[in-house]
Amino acid sequence: MMLNLIDKIGDWNPQLFRELKGRLNFFNVAIAVATSLLLQLVVFSYQLRDFPDYTLWQEHWEHIFLTLSVIFIFTLLVVGSYLLINDLAKEETRGTLNFIRLSPQSETSILTGKLLGVPSLIYLFILLAVPLHLWAGLSADIAFSYILSYYAILAGSCIFFYSAALLLGLFSRSSSSFQPLLGFLGSSVVLLFLFITMVLASYDSNSLNNSNACFRLFNPWDVTNYLFPNLFHLSNGSPLKNWQFFYLPLGTSVVSVVGFHLLNLGLCSYGILQVVKRYFRNPQASIISKEQSYLLVAFCQLVMWGFTVQTGLNNERWDEGVGENLVLVAVYNLVLILSLIVVLSPHRQDVQDWARYRHQGVSSRKNLWRDLISAEKSPALVAIAINLIIVTIPWLVWVSLTSVFDANDGQTWLSNDIDRFKVLLAIALSISLMMIYATIAQLILLLKTPKRSFWAIGTLGTAMFLPPMILQFLDIPPSKYPTVWLFSTFPWTAIEYSGVTTIFMALLAELSVLALLNFQLTRRVRLAGESATKALLAGR
């Protein structure tokens, strides 16, 4: 009967058939069944020992339910992620992954087969425990809708973590020396993340009104504690009760809490799977395309600002607490843009191919801008500039419409046009500095030297962090020497102590450097295209 079912599955998804046929043998199934039944017996016996009095029988079932809920999360996410990463690493080592790439199956069919087939024994292990889990929850008078909501969150978390595991597993080609340890390292990261977020969720604190809350959207503990308040025994209940997103009171309803978590997990899983599909067919391509980077940056801004702006609003003025949140937004955006510089900047051969195509006059000037915005092999400067514009728009809106009240000295900053103009100049300084870094990285990647990526990352890291470290070591604070700090990676620290003229002159200097670097980049790209065309013609 089992073989007939597997054969029918093979007609629908050949990859799933391949995974199930290799795993669902008698020995593996027997171990999964025996382990699941033994675990249920141990949990039931342990809770019965602690609650022998029949006056607490309801409490006994609640403890069984909560214990199994925690076991489900750790087992599915940690063990399932390990199996997926390890499976892809083994497929890459044996060379069978290339065979799968050449099959007529679609990427969606192959990835679905992997997601459903590789952790199939874990699914069997959990499904056998679901009846006891469901019976314990209903016996503890837990609403059936809450139990279904927990299952939905668990399924959404599995899809997200498993999608990330597939992406990490595909990187085994570029990290062959770490292939044997890749599954262990990936599952260890998942275990550490679950443990840390479990500790954070177990404290009666409300740390959801800043951009750090973005990371808590990916852990199942907060919403599980919201559904089952006795999970961590918090005195004030779940912090999600006061949860807001752009002032929308999401925490007042189970539907909004669960729905928002599922929406976030669904969107992020979809994005990761699009990257996996792209990288699966062409391992030599960049992780994401330029168009995908625009959507990624816009999504990150929406989520980060949604958890930031509602802090301390009072008569159209924010208190000083919002300043700390804005620092977090700035730091996360800095990391995001620098990561995109590394990911989107093409290497020498790609740029040379694109430049030869341009030099042969195949496309028009209109197509040139289209190439710079979306083409795979074109330089990434325009794409980085577009992403910087997307990052800047929320800042411009916030600076133009708000002011911040400092409770320490009773003063309000951003309360006049001069303060706002200085901040706008500081934003322009940051944009020009990021464009300088992007241009330097692209110039290094055009060199003929080996390990260009290593040199590009090392140069950017040195240019970003070495000057501020030297200034701090030499005891040169921004309050006394603001002009020097205006040219560092963190010009914001010197804005308060600098005049408008000084900031404007610093901006002109950075724009001049940017213009010179881009002139050099344009010249080198043109020469690369010309030399490639000459070599091609000579070969003919």
pLDDT digits over 372-400, tens only? 888 888 899 999 999 999 999 998 888 87
Q: State the total domains in the chain.
A: 2
Between 98 and 292, the more confident residue is: 292
Between 158 and 309, the more confident residue is: 158
Of 274, 303, 336, which residue sits at a domain end?
274
Q: Are residues 211 and 352 in the same domain?
A: no
Q: Are residues 222 and 247 in the same domain?
A: yes
| Residue-averaged pLDDT of the chain | 83
Confidence of residue 421 (pLDDT cuts 50, 70, 90): confident
Q: How many angstroms separate the CA atoms of 90 and 96, rounded?
A: 9
Contact (Cβ atoms closer than 8 angstroms) between residue 35 and residue 125: yes
Q: Are residues 241 and 355 in the same domain?
A: no
Q: How many angstroms separate the CA atoms of 380 and 97, rounded?
A: 31
pLDDT of residue 441: 92
State the amino acid at position 132 in one-letter form: L
Residues 6+ apart with CB under 8 A from 459: 440, 441, 444
Q: What are phi and psi of 222, to 5 degrees?
A: -60, -45
Residue 323 belongs to what domain range?
Answer: 286-539
Q: How many angstroms separate the CA atoms of 201 and 8, rounded?
A: 44
Of 247, 274, 301, which residue sits at a domain end?
274
Q: What are phi and psi of 411, to 5 degrees?
A: -105, 160
Residues 6+ apart with CB under 8 A from 519: none
Lowest mean pLDDT among 200-204, 356-360, 505-509: 356-360
Instruction: Specify if 148 maps to a domain.
Output: yes
Confidence of residue 413 (pLDDT cuts 50, 70, 90): low
Instruction: Specify if 534 maps to a domain.
Output: yes
Q: pTM for the whole thing?
A: 0.88
Residues 6+ apart with CB under 8 A from 297: 336, 340, 387, 390, 391
Instruction: Specify if 280 maps to a domain.
Output: no
Instruction: Specify if 281 maps to a domain.
Output: no
pLDDT of residue 405: 47
- What is the mean predicted confidence (pLDDT) over 144-160? 95
Q: Are residues 290 and 270 in the same domain?
A: no
Contact (Cβ atoms closer than 8 angstroms) between residue 294 and residue 378: no
Q: Are residues 41 and 124 in the same domain?
A: yes
Contact (Cβ atoms closer than 8 angstroms) between residue 15 and residue 105: yes
Confidence of residue 261 (pLDDT cuts 50, 70, 90): very high
Burial class, 27, CB count within 10 angstroms (exposed 0-12 / middle 13-18 / buried 19+): exposed
Instruction: Specify if 140 maps to a domain.
Output: yes
Question: Which residues are paired to 248 by β-bridges?
Answer: 245
Q: Are residues 386 and 512 in the same domain?
A: yes
**Nearest alpha carbon to residue 162 among 205, 112, 126, 124:** 112
Of 274, 299, 329, which residue sits at a domain end?
274
pLDDT of residue 315: 45
Q: How many angstroms separate the CA atoms of 232 and 204, rounded?
A: 9
Q: Are residues 167 and 302 in the same domain?
A: no
Q: Are residues 292 and 266 in the same domain?
A: no
Q: How many angstroms separate the CA atoms of 483 and 481, rounded?
A: 6
Q: Are residues 250 and 303 in the same domain?
A: no
Confidence of residue 24 (pLDDT cuts 50, 70, 90): confident
Q: Are residues 266 and 343 in the same domain?
A: no
Lowest mean pLDDT among 7-16, 247-256, 310-319, 498-507: 310-319
Q: Are residues 131 and 162 in the same domain?
A: yes
**Nearest alpha carbon to residue 163 among 198, 126, 190, 128:** 190
Q: Are residues 329 and 228 in the same domain?
A: no
Alpha helices in 250-289 (DSSP H): 254-281
pLDDT of residue 9: 67
Torsional class of 410: left (φ above 0), alpha (ψ -120 to 50), beta (otherwise): left
Instruction: Specify if 279 maps to a domain.
Output: no
Instruction: Specify if 353 maps to a domain.
Output: yes
Q: How many angstroms separate the CA atoms of 235 and 243, rounded?
A: 17
Q: What are phi and psi of 489, to 5 degrees?
A: -70, -20
Contact (Cβ atoms closer than 8 angstroms) between residue 532 and residue 350: no
Confidence of residue 410 (pLDDT cuts 50, 70, 90): very low
**Nearest alpha carbon to residue 498 among 482, 510, 513, 511:** 482
Instruction: Specify if 485 maps to a domain.
Output: yes
